[in-house]
Copies of this chain bind each other. A is one copy, B any other.
Amino acid sequence: MTVCGIDLEAEKQAKEHQNRLTKPLGALGKLEDFACWLAARQGKAMPDPLKPHICVFAGDHGVVDEGVSAYPSVVTGEMVKNFARGGAAINVLARQCHASLSVVDAGVVSDISDVEGVVHAKVCAGSANLARKAAMIGEEENLALQLGRTQARQAIASGANLLIAGDMGIGNTTASACLICELAHGDVQDVVGHGTGVDDDGRVRKVDVVQQALKRVGDIQPQDVLRELGGLEIAAMAGFYLQSAEQGVPVIVDGFIAAAAALAARAYEPKVTDWMLASHVSQEKGHQIALEALGLEPLIDFNMRLGEGSGAALIVPLLQSAVALHREMATFDSAGVSEKDG
Is there an interface contact between A196 and B27, defined as CB atoms closer than 8 Å?
A: yes
Q: Which residues of B contact A338 (CB under 8 A)?
A: 71-72, 74-75, 78
Is there an interface contact between B71 and A22, defined as CB atoms closer than 8 Å?
A: no
User: Using an 8 Å CB-CB cutoff, how does the interface string of A324-342 with B read, 1 for contact, 0 for none?
Assistant: 1100111000111111110
User: Using an 8 Å CB-CB cutoff, how does the interface string of A10-47 with B read, 1 for contact, 0 for none?
Assistant: 00000000000111111111110000000000000000
Chain B residue at minimal CB-CB distance from A73:
B338
Which of A22, A69, A97, A315 has the most chain B CB atoms closer than 10 A to its own CB? Answer: A22
Within 8 A of B (CB), among A283-342: 283, 299-300, 302-306, 310, 314-315, 317-318, 320-321, 324-325, 328-330, 334-341
Given the contacts A95-B324, A314-B321, A25 and B197 also touching, CB distance less than 8 Å: yes
Within 8 A of B (CB), among A232-289: 283
Binds B, one of A86-94, A138-146, A176-184: A86-94
Within 8 A of B (CB), among A160-211: 196-197
Q: Which residues of B contact A96 (CB under 8 A)?
A: 317, 320-321, 324
Shortest Cβ distance from residue A264 to the other chain B in the assembled complex, whole angstroms? 23
Is there an interface contact between B28 and A89, defined as CB atoms closer than 8 Å?
A: yes
Q: Which residues of B contact A321 (CB under 8 A)?
A: 92-93, 96-97, 314, 317
A166 to B23, CA, bound (A): 14
Known: A24-B70, A31-B304, A81-B335. 14 other contacts (CB 8 A): A23-B89, A24-B196, A27-B305, A28-B304, A28-B310, A69-B341, A75-B337, A78-B335, A78-B337, A87-B328, A87-B330, A96-B317, A314-B318, A314-B321
List residues of chain A with CB under 8 Å of any chain B CB. Answer: 21-31, 69-72, 74-75, 78-79, 81-82, 85, 87-89, 91-93, 95-97, 196-197, 283, 299-300, 302-306, 310, 314-315, 317-318, 320-321, 324-325, 328-330, 334-341
A-B CB contact pairs (8 Å), 16 listed? A21-B89, A24-B305, A25-B197, A30-B302, A31-B302, A70-B341, A78-B338, A82-B330, A82-B337, A85-B330, A87-B328, A87-B329, A89-B325, A92-B328, A96-B321, A317-B318
